[in-house]
Structure 1
Amino acid sequence: MAGSVSGALLRRQFQDLNKNGIPGISAGLRKDNLYDWEVLMVGPEDTVYEGGLFRARMRFPSDYPNMPPVLKFISPMWHPNVFPDGVVCISILHSPGEDEHGLEDAGERWLPVHTAETILLSVMAMLSSPNLDSPANVDATKQYRDDYQAYKKRVREIVRRSVEDLPE
Protein backbone atom coordinates (compact mmCIF):
# COMPACT_ATOMS: atom_id res chain seq x y z
CA MET A 1 0.00 0.00 0.00
CA ALA A 2 2.70 2.50 0.98
CA GLY A 3 4.60 1.82 -2.23
CA SER A 4 1.53 2.47 -4.37
CA VAL A 5 0.85 5.77 -2.56
CA SER A 6 4.44 6.96 -2.87
CA GLY A 7 4.63 5.73 -6.47
CA ALA A 8 1.50 7.68 -7.43
CA LEU A 9 2.82 10.78 -5.68
CA LEU A 10 6.22 10.51 -7.37
CA ARG A 11 4.60 9.98 -10.77
CA ARG A 12 2.56 13.16 -10.31
CA GLN A 13 5.59 15.14 -9.07
CA PHE A 14 7.71 13.88 -11.95
CA GLN A 15 5.02 14.81 -14.49
CA ASP A 16 4.50 18.24 -12.90
CA LEU A 17 8.24 18.94 -12.88
CA ASN A 18 8.57 18.03 -16.54
CA LYS A 19 5.39 19.89 -17.54
CA ASN A 20 5.97 23.12 -15.61
CA GLY A 21 9.74 22.95 -15.35
CA ILE A 22 12.24 24.73 -13.17
CA PRO A 23 14.65 26.94 -15.10
CA GLY A 24 18.04 25.27 -15.21
CA ILE A 25 16.84 21.82 -14.10
CA SER A 26 15.76 18.74 -16.00
CA ALA A 27 14.94 15.30 -14.64
CA GLY A 28 14.50 11.84 -16.03
CA LEU A 29 13.91 8.40 -14.60
CA ARG A 30 16.73 5.90 -14.37
CA LYS A 31 15.60 2.62 -15.97
CA ASP A 32 11.95 3.78 -15.76
CA ASN A 33 12.16 3.66 -11.95
CA LEU A 34 9.99 6.33 -10.27
CA TYR A 35 12.17 6.06 -7.16
CA ASP A 36 15.45 6.81 -8.96
CA TRP A 37 15.79 10.10 -10.83
CA GLU A 38 18.64 11.48 -12.87
CA VAL A 39 18.86 15.25 -12.64
CA LEU A 40 20.80 17.78 -14.69
CA MET A 41 21.32 21.21 -13.12
CA VAL A 42 22.72 24.28 -14.77
CA GLY A 43 24.86 26.31 -12.37
CA PRO A 44 22.84 29.32 -11.16
CA GLU A 45 23.50 32.70 -12.79
CA ASP A 46 25.67 35.18 -10.91
CA THR A 47 27.38 32.43 -8.90
CA VAL A 48 30.76 30.74 -9.29
CA TYR A 49 28.80 27.70 -10.57
CA GLU A 50 27.33 29.65 -13.50
CA GLY A 51 27.70 27.81 -16.79
CA GLY A 52 28.26 24.42 -15.19
CA LEU A 53 26.20 21.37 -16.10
CA PHE A 54 25.98 19.15 -13.04
CA ARG A 55 24.58 15.64 -13.04
CA ALA A 56 22.92 14.38 -9.87
CA ARG A 57 20.87 11.44 -8.75
CA MET A 58 17.85 11.63 -6.47
CA ARG A 59 16.79 8.37 -4.85
CA PHE A 60 13.47 8.20 -3.05
CA PRO A 61 12.75 5.73 -0.23
CA SER A 62 9.74 3.41 -0.46
CA ASP A 63 8.11 5.34 2.41
CA TYR A 64 8.33 8.71 0.60
CA PRO A 65 6.94 11.30 1.44
CA ASN A 66 7.32 10.34 5.10
CA MET A 67 11.10 10.15 4.67
CA PRO A 68 13.31 12.31 2.42
CA PRO A 69 15.18 11.24 -0.69
CA VAL A 70 18.95 11.31 -0.98
CA LEU A 71 20.34 13.72 -3.55
CA LYS A 72 23.89 13.02 -4.69
CA PHE A 73 25.95 14.85 -7.29
CA ILE A 74 27.47 12.48 -9.82
CA SER A 75 29.49 15.31 -11.33
CA PRO A 76 32.42 16.49 -9.21
CA MET A 77 31.27 19.20 -6.79
CA TRP A 78 33.24 21.50 -4.49
CA HIS A 79 30.83 23.09 -2.04
CA PRO A 80 30.62 23.51 1.73
CA ASN A 81 27.26 21.70 1.90
CA VAL A 82 28.15 18.74 -0.31
CA PHE A 83 30.01 15.80 1.20
CA PRO A 84 33.16 14.71 -0.67
CA ASP A 85 31.19 11.71 -2.03
CA GLY A 86 28.64 14.11 -3.62
CA VAL A 87 25.77 13.71 -1.14
CA VAL A 88 23.95 16.99 -0.55
CA CYS A 89 23.57 18.09 3.07
CA ILE A 90 20.71 20.53 3.52
CA SER A 91 18.20 20.61 6.36
CA ILE A 92 15.15 19.60 4.35
CA LEU A 93 16.89 16.35 3.35
CA HIS A 94 17.53 15.37 6.99
CA SER A 95 15.19 12.81 8.56
CA PRO A 96 12.13 14.32 10.26
CA GLY A 97 11.99 15.05 13.94
CA GLU A 98 14.33 16.59 16.45
CA ASP A 99 18.03 16.87 15.62
CA GLU A 100 20.01 14.71 18.06
CA HIS A 101 22.77 17.35 18.05
CA GLY A 102 20.39 20.27 18.60
CA LEU A 103 21.62 22.15 15.52
CA GLU A 104 18.33 22.23 13.61
CA ASP A 105 14.73 22.77 14.60
CA ALA A 106 12.32 20.02 13.59
CA GLY A 107 10.58 22.51 11.29
CA GLU A 108 13.79 22.96 9.27
CA ARG A 109 14.11 19.24 8.60
CA TRP A 110 12.18 16.98 6.24
CA LEU A 111 8.42 17.41 6.20
CA PRO A 112 6.07 15.41 3.95
CA VAL A 113 4.88 18.66 2.35
CA HIS A 114 8.21 18.96 0.53
CA THR A 115 8.24 17.85 -3.08
CA ALA A 116 10.88 17.00 -5.64
CA GLU A 117 10.49 20.58 -6.88
CA THR A 118 11.08 22.17 -3.46
CA ILE A 119 14.14 19.95 -2.97
CA LEU A 120 15.65 20.93 -6.31
CA LEU A 121 14.91 24.61 -5.71
CA SER A 122 16.60 24.32 -2.30
CA VAL A 123 19.68 22.76 -3.89
CA MET A 124 19.87 25.60 -6.41
CA ALA A 125 19.60 28.08 -3.52
CA MET A 126 22.34 26.17 -1.68
CA LEU A 127 24.64 26.56 -4.69
CA SER A 128 23.96 30.29 -4.63
CA SER A 129 24.34 30.72 -0.90
CA PRO A 130 26.16 28.05 1.12
CA ASN A 131 25.42 27.51 4.80
CA LEU A 132 28.87 27.83 6.35
CA ASP A 133 27.55 27.09 9.84
CA SER A 134 26.68 23.51 8.90
CA PRO A 135 29.46 22.23 6.66
CA ALA A 136 29.46 18.80 5.04
CA ASN A 137 32.82 19.42 3.39
CA VAL A 138 35.10 20.98 5.99
CA ASP A 139 37.92 21.57 3.49
CA ALA A 140 35.65 23.43 1.06
CA THR A 141 34.24 25.48 3.94
CA LYS A 142 37.70 26.38 5.22
CA GLN A 143 38.84 27.41 1.74
CA TYR A 144 35.64 29.42 1.19
CA ARG A 145 36.24 31.32 4.43
CA ASP A 146 40.02 31.68 4.31
CA ASP A 147 40.84 32.01 0.60
CA TYR A 148 37.73 32.71 -1.45
CA GLN A 149 39.78 33.37 -4.60
CA ALA A 150 41.29 29.86 -4.42
CA TYR A 151 37.82 28.43 -3.76
CA LYS A 152 36.44 30.30 -6.75
CA LYS A 153 39.30 29.09 -8.96
CA ARG A 154 38.69 25.47 -7.96
CA VAL A 155 34.94 25.74 -8.61
CA ARG A 156 35.52 27.41 -12.00
CA GLU A 157 37.74 24.45 -12.98
CA ILE A 158 34.96 22.05 -11.95
CA VAL A 159 32.48 24.12 -13.99
CA ARG A 160 34.75 23.93 -17.05
CA ARG A 161 35.17 20.18 -16.70
CA SER A 162 31.43 19.67 -16.11
CA VAL A 163 30.76 20.91 -19.62
CA GLU A 164 33.66 19.07 -21.25
CA ASP A 165 32.89 15.73 -19.55
CA LEU A 166 29.20 15.46 -20.42
CA PRO A 167 28.40 12.34 -22.42
CA GLU A 168 27.56 12.84 -26.07
Structure 2
Amino acid sequence: MSGTAPAGNALLLKRQLNELRKHPVEGFSAGLKDESNLYEWEIIIIGPADTLYEGGFLRAELIFPPEYPLLPPKMKFITPMWHPNVYEDGGVCISILHAPGTDEWGYEDAGERWLPVHTIESILLSVISLLSSDTPNLDSPANVDAAKQVREDIKGYRKKVRRLVRESAEAAFD
Protein backbone atom coordinates (compact mmCIF):
# COMPACT_ATOMS: atom_id res chain seq x y z
CA MET A 1 0.00 0.00 0.00
CA SER A 2 2.71 2.51 0.91
CA GLY A 3 4.20 2.12 -2.59
CA THR A 4 1.10 3.70 -4.17
CA ALA A 5 0.89 6.72 -1.88
CA PRO A 6 2.78 9.94 -2.52
CA ALA A 7 5.98 10.18 -0.48
CA GLY A 8 4.74 13.38 1.21
CA ASN A 9 1.93 11.44 2.92
CA ALA A 10 4.41 8.96 4.40
CA LEU A 11 6.64 11.83 5.52
CA LEU A 12 3.70 13.50 7.27
CA LEU A 13 2.82 10.27 9.09
CA LYS A 14 6.47 9.70 10.01
CA ARG A 15 6.72 13.26 11.36
CA GLN A 16 3.56 12.79 13.48
CA LEU A 17 4.88 9.45 14.78
CA ASN A 18 8.24 10.99 15.72
CA GLU A 19 6.47 13.88 17.43
CA LEU A 20 4.37 11.47 19.51
CA ARG A 21 7.49 9.45 20.41
CA LYS A 22 9.38 12.59 21.49
CA HIS A 23 6.40 14.20 23.24
CA PRO A 24 3.94 11.51 24.38
CA VAL A 25 0.43 12.74 25.07
CA GLU A 26 -1.26 11.67 28.27
CA GLY A 27 -4.15 9.28 27.76
CA PHE A 28 -2.93 7.18 24.85
CA SER A 29 0.00 5.56 23.16
CA ALA A 30 0.38 5.19 19.41
CA GLY A 31 2.83 3.31 17.25
CA LEU A 32 3.16 1.36 14.05
CA LYS A 33 1.81 -2.19 13.79
CA ASP A 34 4.82 -2.97 11.60
CA GLU A 35 7.81 -0.62 11.31
CA SER A 36 7.79 -1.03 7.52
CA ASN A 37 4.20 0.30 7.10
CA LEU A 38 3.44 3.89 8.12
CA TYR A 39 -0.24 3.48 7.16
CA GLU A 40 -1.29 1.06 9.92
CA TRP A 41 -1.02 2.15 13.53
CA GLU A 42 -1.86 0.44 16.80
CA ILE A 43 -3.31 2.54 19.55
CA ILE A 44 -3.91 2.05 23.26
CA ILE A 45 -6.25 4.48 24.95
CA ILE A 46 -5.99 4.53 28.72
CA GLY A 47 -9.50 4.86 30.11
CA PRO A 48 -9.95 8.48 31.23
CA ALA A 49 -10.19 9.07 35.00
CA ASP A 50 -13.65 9.66 36.46
CA THR A 51 -15.42 8.02 33.50
CA LEU A 52 -16.96 4.61 32.88
CA TYR A 53 -13.71 3.73 31.07
CA GLU A 54 -11.36 4.50 33.97
CA GLY A 55 -8.79 1.72 34.40
CA GLY A 56 -9.33 0.32 30.93
CA PHE A 57 -6.71 -0.37 28.28
CA LEU A 58 -8.62 0.06 25.05
CA ARG A 59 -6.78 -1.31 22.02
CA ALA A 60 -7.55 0.15 18.60
CA GLU A 61 -6.08 0.60 15.16
CA LEU A 62 -5.83 3.56 12.80
CA ILE A 63 -5.64 2.74 9.09
CA PHE A 64 -4.63 5.63 6.86
CA PRO A 65 -5.71 5.85 3.23
CA PRO A 66 -3.12 6.65 0.54
CA GLU A 67 -4.89 10.03 0.16
CA TYR A 68 -4.11 11.04 3.78
CA PRO A 69 -4.25 13.87 4.88
CA LEU A 70 -6.91 14.78 2.30
CA LEU A 71 -9.05 11.89 3.56
CA PRO A 72 -9.31 10.70 7.17
CA PRO A 73 -8.06 7.42 8.58
CA LYS A 74 -10.43 4.73 9.77
CA MET A 75 -10.34 3.93 13.47
CA LYS A 76 -11.48 0.64 14.89
CA PHE A 77 -11.40 -0.67 18.45
CA ILE A 78 -9.93 -4.14 18.84
CA THR A 79 -11.10 -4.19 22.46
CA PRO A 80 -14.81 -5.10 22.64
CA MET A 81 -16.76 -1.86 23.14
CA TRP A 82 -20.33 -0.97 24.06
CA HIS A 83 -20.98 2.63 23.07
CA PRO A 84 -23.61 4.30 20.86
CA ASN A 85 -20.88 5.87 18.69
CA VAL A 86 -18.87 2.67 18.15
CA TYR A 87 -20.13 0.11 15.63
CA GLU A 88 -20.43 -3.51 16.74
CA ASP A 89 -17.29 -4.33 14.71
CA GLY A 90 -15.37 -1.64 16.66
CA GLY A 91 -15.48 1.09 14.00
CA VAL A 92 -15.50 4.56 15.53
CA CYS A 93 -18.17 6.99 14.34
CA ILE A 94 -17.17 10.58 15.11
CA SER A 95 -17.44 13.65 12.95
CA ILE A 96 -13.74 14.31 12.43
CA LEU A 97 -13.30 10.83 10.95
CA HIS A 98 -16.00 11.48 8.32
CA ALA A 99 -14.83 12.50 4.85
CA PRO A 100 -14.77 16.25 4.18
CA GLY A 101 -17.79 17.97 2.72
CA THR A 102 -21.45 18.26 3.51
CA ASP A 103 -23.28 15.58 5.48
CA GLU A 104 -26.01 14.20 3.25
CA TRP A 105 -28.15 13.47 6.34
CA GLY A 106 -27.72 16.93 7.84
CA TYR A 107 -26.34 15.82 11.22
CA GLU A 108 -22.93 17.51 10.88
CA ASP A 109 -21.62 20.84 9.66
CA ALA A 110 -18.76 20.64 7.16
CA GLY A 111 -16.50 22.25 9.80
CA GLU A 112 -17.06 19.31 12.16
CA ARG A 113 -15.88 16.77 9.61
CA TRP A 114 -12.37 15.79 8.56
CA LEU A 115 -9.94 18.59 7.76
CA PRO A 116 -6.34 17.98 6.62
CA VAL A 117 -5.09 19.97 9.64
CA HIS A 118 -6.19 17.17 11.99
CA THR A 119 -3.42 15.05 13.45
CA ILE A 120 -3.26 11.65 15.12
CA GLU A 121 -3.24 13.54 18.41
CA SER A 122 -6.39 15.53 17.58
CA ILE A 123 -8.17 12.35 16.45
CA LEU A 124 -7.32 10.45 19.62
CA LEU A 125 -8.16 13.39 21.87
CA SER A 126 -11.56 13.54 20.14
CA VAL A 127 -12.10 9.83 20.82
CA ILE A 128 -11.05 10.26 24.46
CA SER A 129 -13.49 13.17 24.71
CA LEU A 130 -16.22 10.95 23.23
CA LEU A 131 -15.54 8.28 25.87
CA SER A 132 -15.40 10.90 28.64
CA SER A 133 -18.84 12.30 27.88
CA ASP A 134 -21.53 11.41 30.39
CA THR A 135 -24.14 11.57 27.64
CA PRO A 136 -23.17 9.85 24.38
CA ASN A 137 -24.50 11.31 21.13
CA LEU A 138 -27.72 9.45 20.43
CA ASP A 139 -28.78 11.46 17.35
CA SER A 140 -27.29 9.13 14.76
CA PRO A 141 -25.97 6.12 16.65
CA ALA A 142 -23.53 3.65 15.13
CA ASN A 143 -24.71 1.04 17.64
CA VAL A 144 -28.50 1.32 17.88
CA ASP A 145 -28.76 -1.28 20.66
CA ALA A 146 -26.27 0.58 22.87
CA ALA A 147 -28.11 3.86 22.21
CA LYS A 148 -31.43 2.21 23.08
CA GLN A 149 -29.93 0.90 26.33
CA VAL A 150 -28.62 4.38 27.23
CA ARG A 151 -32.16 5.74 26.79
CA GLU A 152 -34.04 2.91 28.50
CA ASP A 153 -31.62 1.31 31.00
CA ILE A 154 -28.72 3.61 31.84
CA LYS A 155 -27.77 1.46 34.87
CA GLY A 156 -27.55 -1.65 32.68
CA TYR A 157 -25.55 0.27 30.08
CA ARG A 158 -23.03 1.48 32.68
CA LYS A 159 -22.72 -1.99 34.17
CA LYS A 160 -21.99 -3.54 30.75
CA VAL A 161 -19.38 -0.85 29.91
CA ARG A 162 -17.63 -1.30 33.28
CA ARG A 163 -17.51 -5.08 32.75
CA LEU A 164 -15.89 -4.64 29.32
CA VAL A 165 -13.42 -2.12 30.76
CA ARG A 166 -12.49 -4.53 33.56
CA GLU A 167 -11.95 -7.28 30.98
CA SER A 168 -9.76 -4.93 28.90
CA ALA A 169 -7.57 -4.23 31.93
CA GLU A 170 -7.24 -7.95 32.69
CA ALA A 171 -6.38 -8.71 29.04
CA ALA A 172 -3.66 -6.03 29.06
CA PHE A 173 -1.78 -7.95 31.73
CA ASP A 174 -2.21 -11.47 30.29
The TM-score range, normalised by the shorter chain, is over 0.9
Among 7, 26, 30, the residue aligned to 2:33 = 30
Letter paired with 1:114: H
CA distance in 2, matches of 1:88, 1:137: 10
Total equivalences in the alignment: 168
* TM-superposition CA deviations, 1:9-59 (whole Å, max 9, x none): 000111111221121201110111111000011111111111010100000
Q: Please give the TM-score of this superposition, normalised by the length of structure 2.
A: 0.92
Match status 1:3 vs 2:6: yes
Runs of 5+ consecutive residues of structure 1 not aligned to the other structure: none
What is the SS of the residue equivalent to 1:34? coil
Q: Report what 1:48 is aligned to.
A: 52
Q: Report what 1:145 is aligned to.
A: 151
Instruction: Judge which range, 134-143 or 70-79, deviates more.
Output: 134-143
CA distance in 2, matches of 1:26, 1:112: 22
CA distance in 2, matches of 1:18, 1:82: 27
Match status 1:18 vs 2:21: yes
Letter paired with 2:26: P
Letter paired with 2:74: V
Q: Report what 2:76 is aligned to.
A: 72
CA distance in 2, matches of 1:42, 1:23: 9
CA distance in 2, matches of 1:17, 1:71: 18
Letter paired with 1:65: P
After the TM superposition, which parts of structure 1 deviate over 2 Å for at least 4 consecutive aligned residues?
A: none
Among 104, 109, 113, the residue aligned to 1:109 = 113
Runs of 5+ consecutive residues of structure 2 not aligned to the other structure: none
CA distance in 1, matches of 2:140, 2:157: 18
Among 127, 132, 139, the residue aligned to 2:138 = 132
* TM-superposition CA deviations, 1:94-125 (whole Å, max 9, x none): 01111111221111110101111100000000
Q: Please give the TM-score of this superposition, normalised by the length of structure 1.
A: 0.96
Letter paired with 1:66: L
CA distance in 1, matches of 2:33, 2:167: 23
Q: Report what 2:165 is aligned to.
A: 159
Match status 1:91 vs 2:95: yes
* TM-superposition CA deviations, 1:56-93 (whole Å, max 9, x none): 00000111000000000000011110000000000000
What is the SS of the residue equivalent to 1:99? coil
Letter paired with 1:23: E
